Amino acid sequence: MRRFSLLTLLKEATNAHQGWGRQWRAPEPKVGYDAVIVGGGGHGLATAYYLAKEHGMRNIAVLEKGWIGGGNTGRNTTIIRSNYLYDESAAIYEHALKLWEGLSQELNYNVMYSARGVMMLAHNVHDVQSFKRHVYANRLNGVDNEWLTPEEAKEFCPPLNISKRLRYPVMGAALQRRGGTARHDAVAWGYARGADAMGVDIIQNCEVTGIRRGLSGAVEGVETTRGFIRTPRIGVVAAGHTSVIMEKAGVRMPLESFPLQALVSEPVKPVFPCVVMSNAVHAYISQSDKGELVIGAGTDQYVSYSQQGGIHIATHTLDAICELFPQFTRMRMLRNWGGIVDVTPDRSPIIGKTPVQGLFVNCGWGTGGFKATPGSGHVFAHTIAKGEPHPIAAPFTMDRFRTGRLIDEAAAAAVAH
Amino acid sequence: MDQAYRLPEGGRIDRKKPVSISFNGQTVQGYAGDTVASALLANGIHLVARSFKYHRPRGIVTHGSDEPNALLDVDRGRGRSDPNNRATVVEVFNGLAVASQNHWPSLDFDVGEVNDLLSPVIVSGFYYKTFMWPRTFWTKVYEPRIRAAAGLGRAPTVADPDRYQYRHAHCDVLVVGSGPAGLTAALAASESGKRVIIVDEQAELGGSLLHDVTSLIDGIPAQDWVRQAVDTLDSRANVVVLPRTTAFGYYNHNHIALAERVTDHLADPSSNLPRERLWQVRAKQVVLATGSHERPLVFADNDRPGIMLAESVRAFINRYGVAPGRQIVFATSGASAYTAAADAKAAGLAVSVVDVRSEAECGPEVAQLRSMGCEVLTGHTVVASRGRKRVTGLIVAPVSADGRVGARRTLRCDCVGMSGGWTPAIHLFSQSRAKARYEPSLDAFVPGTSVQAERSVGAAKGAYQLGECLRQGWMAGAEAAEHVSERTFDATNSPAGFKPVRVLPTDVNPKRLRAFVDFQNDVTAKDIRLAVREGFESIEHVKRYTTTGMATDQGKTSNMNALGLVAGTLDRPIPAVGTTTFRLPYTPTTFGAFVGPSRHHLFDPIRTTPIHEWAAAHGAEFENVGLWKRAWYFPKAGEDMHAAMARECKAARTSVGIFDASTLGKIEVVGPDAAEFMNRIYTNAWLKLEPGKCRYGLMLKEDGYIMDDGVVARLAHDRFHVTTTTGGAPRVLAHMEDYLQTEWPDLKVFLTSITEQYAVIALQGPKAREVIEPLVTDIDLSPGAFPHMSVRTGFICGIPCRLFRVSFTGELGFEINVPSDYGQSVWEAIFERGKPFGITPYGTETMHVLRAEKGFIIVGQETDGTVTPDDLGLSGLIAKTKPDFVGKRSLSRPDIVSAGRKQLVGLVTDNPNEVLEEGAQIVMDPNQTIPMRMVGHVTSSYWSSNCDRSIALALLAGGRSRMGSRVYVTTPTGFTTAKICEPVFFDPAGERVNA
Amino acid sequence: MLLVTCPYCGPRPEIEFRCGGEAHIARPAEPSKLSDKEWAEFLFVRTNAKGVFAERWNHAHGCQRWFNALRDTASDRFIQTYKVGEKRPDRTPGQERL
């Protein structure tokens, strides 16, 4: 792997950048691999990277039906935070956040993790109570999160409207200063480049059409649009399409896939310093390095794989944005798009083994998977390599739906991820 | 300025109406009908912008909404300022102020231009390769600088004084675009009498015909034909014509969003008018006549001011009467530029043509132009341009069939019209989620099979001949309206066809060549080649890595050049590289249009109770609960919330308090099977509840967690009056309807929401009976006849009422349900009657405290969607004998019955004056290391004036077996100590309710 | 925004409706006889099909009636709506009208 640095960049500048090679190869699939990751998004590529790096599994492949990072990795609003309520959630998201903090250096790829602070607004007494519960729980879990008065919130985010005359006035905010954003595409590319350098085959335009199981029931390999690939271990990391893939192995999932929309404005000079989330009025906003206001909207109400939702979802979000930031009504929407998010009954992910020998799954990240990418890949790699869940992943089994040990962040806090 | 470049005649501008605008503070003259772009060009102003990354001088490239370069800040006065407006679409009016962006200190001298010198380093994707050391510098040093450099204009800083509106419309045929194909489509469709809407983003209908001064349609000049067509459409009552309206989004099921710009072109708009209207149209059929976009040519320094699209040169001359230059070189790889060249020549300008096609590849257009006296160099390439802030010359050279470039020659000029071919505007077609098909003969993607009720016609479908556009439009319009009508059109055909060239042949080392593909984002051909070299092969990857096509024009002019370049570099056919999906909106669309009137009190509906005005008049502070405004507390002069609450709490326990409980959800469950239905929905038993009795009901979701609660009265054998929480009412009704209709359709039950029908006045306190006794008729209020938890119907103040004897405070209490219209008058009568007793209105805060003193839970406060009845000590409400009810099965799941679940307890702080924070976490040992083991959290906490100390409720792991234990509770600064107790703080025996 | 055809009221915009998820998952007659696993499947496991999918809709801001729909989740096109209690129609995608 050609190292990236200012020095190599300058050196290449003298050579019209002719010396840069491929950031990852485009290999033909081999006959078989020690493990196959289905899904070349951030989570899948991170899984492959850590399998190779920490578990020495290098004869592995990532299969992507389109182009890597083309699903939710490249479609989300890139919010990163770890101030979750429950111990289990705080542990996995904090694990991820710690990895985010050194990820550019780890991958030698600038993923632009920007700790500009994530502020969640409280609009009613219930929000205040709930956010304080978060702040205290986070404090005892070693996760930074602090309570701000409306005036302090305004100071941290000057465009914020804290007028008492709002339909839902801001009553305070919870701020995680280490929270922030990152450059989503770079995460996929950085992991791909890192994994590829260790020998992982990243195979694009390769759709899994079947999962072959032997007489014992264990997996034997995957059927793909580029032929059969033998493997004893399959890690399915297919986000919105998880149900579709798992069904090929005969496993039915507690998942529903919904369209989730996001949008950006035209680029403008810096005007918005942090990330603001308001679940009560459905507003998620930050400003990208390019200058676009990046705005997350909600999910549509029906199962869909179409990556397109209704206009009422976007208008609802913009209503809220312009109520909180009235100076933005003259800004213009540049792009609006949709992804497909896979949602579990308790809005927490499923990471672990399945009833099928050799088949592992990492899914159900719902509307908030991007922030978990490094942590998710890290613990899932452990799970696949050892055949047993990583301790941080252990609570996120599918079995919790049988026993009732749900990790219901949404119900607990009415906060989207 | 003197409009030195205004042609003496021609154009659709109104020369009788001079207009002056300001550009960077300088006054610029134009005419009504000008765009900012045409007015600037009329005054010889070409330098209007600095590019995003390299701050290169940039001019006007196009004449429409596909403009990549000429983005201006527009100030319409009085706070109406916004950035990134395309000069080519902003209409002029007196007083309009526009300014260029992204430079310092000035457009003319911009120090940012130093970036251009760094261009060998800051190639596409360079930022992924550096800025990584030291680790903390990204957020603190690098990123702030990059962010400051990025972004084009400045966001508005003050609230927008304009307002926006919604329209919802249905039509039989929606026609998008009003060029030749759109007009005939609308004419044909509307002939049938069906409802037709035709929209066009421009100020007037006609599309490309507005700058066509030579074609004839059915024997008359094209622009006359347009006027007749528009007159016909205007005269038809079934046609809605919407100019200045962009169809920007094609959603599911033929739901099309239009943004109509109502006032932006007016100097002094009426205050009655909204700035924009968002139309949401549900069309039975859609005709897409969205035209096509011309492609720039990619050659070195093709971005100099004065270099624009050939068709745009034609449009400025013919439509606006403006000469973009006196000496124009057309550089082309196709035939259409010859029409522009001929028009320029006819307008008296010096014209020459450089055509990359060989003489043999060209058609009769060459000879035609030569016959007009213009030099035409076929088989020539453009290797560079001269000039800096304005093009001064084009360097061309002959190119042989095998690509060898011959001797250079400079053509002096002050304007270049370039044409690299045409791309159908399939954006809306693509948004409809249909797949485009690559058509090699057009070197473009064209609409494939439709997946919604939609037809593409004309240039949007790759038809570039006028007659064919007219014919296709007519046919599609007639078909869409299911109207049989044949028509042919006799129209002038212009030369068409082009030879695709990705990057013009050059004698320069291509590694050093700076030929721009995406002007706005400063993406060059070598950036794209670099991306491909680095393994970014899908066009989506190339877009994201280089940012080509990601600018505010979304690559309307540049996408095909980029795509062709990637395909060429990889030596793959274009479809193998993919087409990018076109994301809505078609052009950037104001947030305000989406928001419409949904601001402030219209952001979300406000629900108020029949007693709201009384409460407001009596000084109540209100809180938002769901959509409701509820009276929070009633401060007297000088009181804060705590003082008011302490007074209200005392009054309710010592004499009588009055509380507006109208927001409680109320549902009537009626029918012969009503009791059976209740039995299945609630955890407790209902079959044996006698009419006239009330019971507290607990409702679970199927997953076993508490969903809602409330008192239920059985009014008659077949009639229950159910109450729900304030926020839960719609949810509960929906839940009930769901089970009734889909699981138990055999049950004979009707459900009716009566929340809005009844006002509910809660009267609580030892004096409650005395207060209402004289007002109530037909009900015996004596304790024996009307005990706690019973219900009677009768009259109060002569108004029929449902009188509940219930208590959420632990005091003697009544809840008086009267028809909403009488709510306030009955309230006032009771209040008047209560005055001798010191009746005290109280709000939700006091209600919360009073119930907490009694340990009554509030769903949503003590519960959070993960709490079971047993967790709250409410197992007694689970009927043991019922085989089933909603949620029962879930209560026996392993983790629901396991030990150690959090249970409801009381907490008393060691310091009785210390009030815990709601949401505070509880640990047994404050000295453990982080992460600490948390055993629970505080759900409710108040100062209780009745207990003269603070009280709190908490959910605590194994709490019921830890009574009396000491726990540590978080505070903003650390921990405090409290003791676990029973969750009842007042009248534990519960005798007062029976008074 | 979808256009949903209520079998009782006709075509109406989606904002009048609430989607109730997968259809034809009958509540077990005797839940107590189900194992924890079977109960969890009833509660949580869903087909989540890509393609033809039967789902429940409620005309919440209209007649308040529940009904079922066959919809292609890949294209979002409705194939048919039908009343509660009626059998799932045997239809495949492509049969819907544009």
Q: Which of B198, B88, B242 is nearest to B552 (CA)?
A: B88
Looking at residue B44, what is its pLDDT? 97
Which H helix or E strand runs over A298?
strand A293-299
Sign of CA dihedral C8, C12, C16, C18: positive
Angle at B312 between CA B307 and CA B314, to 5 degrees: 110
What is the C-alpha separation between A366 and A349, in angstroms, rounded? 8
Q: Are B367 and B344 in contact (CB under 8 A)?
A: no
Angstroms from A373 CA to nearest CA on chain B: 18
Tokens of B69: 């370069």
The neighbouring-strand residues paired with B16 are: none
Q: Which of A255, A256, A305, A341 to mutate to test the interface with C (most CBs of C within 10 A)?
A: A305
What is the C-alpha separation between C48 and A364, in angstroms, rounded? 13
> 3-state DSSP call for residue B536?
coil
With CB atoms and an 8 Å threshold, state whether B889 touches C34.
Answer: yes
Contacts of B131 in chain A (CB under 8 A): 110
CATH code, residues A118-180+256-343: 3.30.9.10
The neighbouring-strand residues paired with B976 are: B969
Instruction: Please tell me what DSSP assigns to residue A268.
Output: B
> 3-state DSSP call for residue B256?
strand
Residue ranges of alpha helices (H) inside B134-236 are 137, 143-149, 180-191, 222-235
Tokens of B13: 């501008």
What is the C-alpha separation between B61 and B684, in angstroms, rounded? 75
Angstroms from B691 CA to nearest CA on chain C: 29
Q: Return mean pLDDT, chain A.
A: 95
CATH code, residues B509-571: 1.10.10
CATH code, residues B164-292+424-480: 3.50.50.60
CATH of B894-994, one of 2.40.30.110, 3.30.200.20, 1.10.10.10, 3.40.50.970: 2.40.30.110
- Assign domain B657-837 to its CATH architecture: 2-Layer Sandwich (3.30)
pLDDT digits (tens, 9 = 90+) for A270-296: 999 999 999 888 889 999 999 999 999
What is the C-alpha separation between A40 and A48, in angstroms, rounded? 9
Pick from A9, A26, A334: CB nearest B588? A334
What is the C-alpha separation between B676 and B744, in angstroms, rounded? 11
CATH of B296-420, one of 3.90.400.10, 3.40.50.2000, 3.40.309.10, 3.50.50.60: 3.50.50.60
From residue A140, how far is each of A87, A91, A356, A414, B801 by CA, in Å? 10, 12, 38, 21, 53
- Is it the case that residue A215 has pLDDT exceeding 80? yes
pLDDT digits (tens, 9 = 90+) for C64-90: 999 999 999 999 999 999 999 999 998
* CATH fourth-level superfamily of A26-82+84-109+184-253+346-403: FAD/NAD(P)-binding domain (3.50.50.60)
What is the C-alpha separation between A114 and A91, in angstroms, rounded? 21
CATH code, residues B14-129: 3.10.20.440
Q: How confident is the model at residue A412 (pLDDT cuts 50, 70, 90)?
A: low
Please state the rounded mean pLDDT for residues C50-70: 96
Instruction: Please tell me what DSSP assigns to residue B741.
Output: I
Q: Are B393 and B386 in contact (CB under 8 A)?
A: yes
CATH of C3-83, one of 3.40.109.10, 3.40.50.2300, 3.30.2270.10, 3.20.20.150: 3.30.2270.10
pLDDT digits (tens, 9 = 90+) for B764-804: 999 999 999 999 999 999 999 999 999 999 999 999 999 99
Q: Are C93 and C52 in contact (CB under 8 A)?
A: yes
With CB atoms and an 8 Å threshold, state whether B734 touches C3.
Answer: no
3-state secondary structure string, B594-655?
HHCCCCHHHCCCCECCCCHHHHHHCCCEEEEECCEEEEEECCCCCCCHHHHHHHHHHHHHHC
Contacts of B737 in chain C (CB under 8 A): 58, 64, 66
Looking at residue A409, what is its pLDDT? 81
Contacts of C50 in chain A (CB under 8 A): 241, 243-244, 257, 305
Residue ranges, comma separated, of all CATH 3.50.50.60 domains in chain A are 26-82+84-109+184-253+346-403
With CB atoms and an 8 Å threshold, state whether A306 touches C49.
Answer: no
Looking at residue C92, what is its pLDDT? 65
Looking at residue A414, what is its pLDDT? 44
What is the C-alpha separation between B246 and B258, in angstroms, rounded? 5
Looking at residue B740, what is its pLDDT? 97
Distance of CA B25 to the CA centre of its chain: 34
Kindly give the parts of chain B with pLDDT less than 50.
none
pLDDT digits (tens, 9 = 90+) for A45-57: 999 999 999 999 9
Looking at residue A415, what is its pLDDT? 40
Q: Which of C44, C55, C67, C68 to mutate to test the interface with A (most CBs of A within 10 A)?
A: C44
Q: Are A360 and A353 in contact (CB under 8 A)?
A: yes
Q: Are B918 and B941 in contact (CB under 8 A)?
A: yes
- Is it the case that residue A133 has pLDDT exceeding 80? yes
Question: Half-sphere exposure of A107 toward its Cβ, with a 13 Å CA cutoff?
Answer: 30
Q: Which chains would you list as touching C if contact means 3+ CB atom pairs under 8 Å?
A: A, B
Looking at residue B136, what is its pLDDT? 85
pLDDT digits (tens, 9 = 90+) for C3-52: 999 999 999 999 999 999 999 999 999 999 999 999 999 999 999 999 99
Residue of C nearest to B432 (CA): C75
With CB atoms and an 8 Å threshold, state whether A405 touches B895.
Answer: yes
* Percentage of residues of chain A with pLDDT beyond 90: 94
Domain ranges of chain B: 14-129, 164-292+424-480, 296-420, 509-571, 657-837, 894-994
Looking at residue B384, what is its pLDDT? 97
B296-420 matches B164-292+424-480 in CATH topology: yes
Contacts of C15 in chain B (CB under 8 A): none
Contacts of B282 in chain C (CB under 8 A): 3, 13
Please state the rounded mean pLDDT for residues A187-211: 98
Q: Which of B889, B893, B895 to mutate to test the interface with C (most CBs of C within 10 A)?
A: B889
Q: Compute φ and ψ for B584, nearest 5 degrees.
A: -75, 160
With CB atoms and an 8 Å threshold, state whether B533 touches A20.
Answer: yes
Helix and strand totals (H; E) in chain B: 24, 51
Tokens of C43: 């509660």
The neighbouring-strand residues paired with B135 are: none
Looking at residue A411, what is its pLDDT? 66
Q: Are A228 and A221 in contact (CB under 8 A)?
A: yes
Q: Return mean pLDDT, chain B.
A: 96
Tokens of C96: 């819907």
Q: How confident is the model at residue C96 (pLDDT cuts 50, 70, 90)?
A: low
Distance of CA A331 to the CA centre of its chain: 28
